[in-house]
Amino acid sequence: MSLSILTFKVYFLSSYYTSKLMHLKRYVGKFLTFQFQGRKDNISGVVLKYNDDYTLIRTCIDYRLDGYTIFKNEKVEFIQGDFEKRAARILKLKKYLPGEEPIIPIDTLENILAYVSLQYRLIQLDTRKGDAFDVVDFRGRVGKLYHFEELTTNAKWRYKLQLPERECRFIHFDNDYLNSLKLITKFKGGTSI
């Protein structure tokens, strides 16, 4: 395949996904399902905040609110079909109000991670495919690498991770799994590397 055809395909795909998301601002406060190219599972929830780089949603699983997700706006489409309308109706009956959510910054990855780590301590970072994740505590950034301490499923600190920005596309926090782990975790002091 020639370079010009490959470049066109990459440009076309990125403009297609970008144009789909450009209209997302009007969906703030609405329940949507997000599909990601190359990811097995979709993510559903109420859109709380959006900018060109990131989207923040109140995650919903089986009509139950469970934490927050911030994801990078790359190769993503959204759906608002029958399921999403029904879920929105159920959340409304449960008296959920998106306007009462905390204000969470989504301007830069470093600010996102620092805020979430300070307020909620544990962060769940999904792989691109969504088939695995790490539970981490953000320790800071050095150069282009983000430093974390990883927690095992037994609530033991295992080792330090250093990840580039491209590996931090899906950030989950304040969900039931992480809050349960926090109950049995001994945290180390500070957020220095």
CA 156/CA 181 separation, integer angstroms: 10
Could you tell me the domains of the chain?
1-102 (2.30.30.100), 108-193 (2.30.30)
pLDDT tens readout for residues 34-48: 999 989 899 999 999
pTM: 0.84
- CB of 25 within 8 A of CB of 50? yes
pLDDT tens readout for residues 90-116: 999 999 998 889 999 999 999 999 999
pLDDT exceeding 90 applies to what percent of the chain?
69
Query: For residue 134, with 0-12 CB atoms within 10 Å meaning exposed, 13-18 middle and 19 or more buried, which class applies?
Result: middle
Whether 2 shows a pLDDT value over 60: the answer reads no
pLDDT tens readout for residues 124-153: 999 878 778 999 999 999 999 999 999 988
- CB of 34 within 8 A of CB of 17? no
In order, the DSSP letters of the chain are --HHHHHHHHHHHHHHHHHHHHGGGGGTTSEEEEEETT-SS-EEEEEEEE-SSEEEEEEEETTEEEEEEEEE-SSEEEE-SHHHHHHHHHHHHTT--GGGSPP---S-HHHHHHHHHHHH--EEEE-TTSS-EEEEEEEEEETTEEEEEEE-TTS-EEEEEEEEGGG--EEEES-HHHHHHHHTPPPPSSS--
Whether 17 shows a pLDDT value over 50: the answer reads no
82: number of Cβ within 10 Å: 8
Least confident of 2-11, 37-46, 77-86: 2-11
Can you tell me the mean pLDDT for 80-96? 95
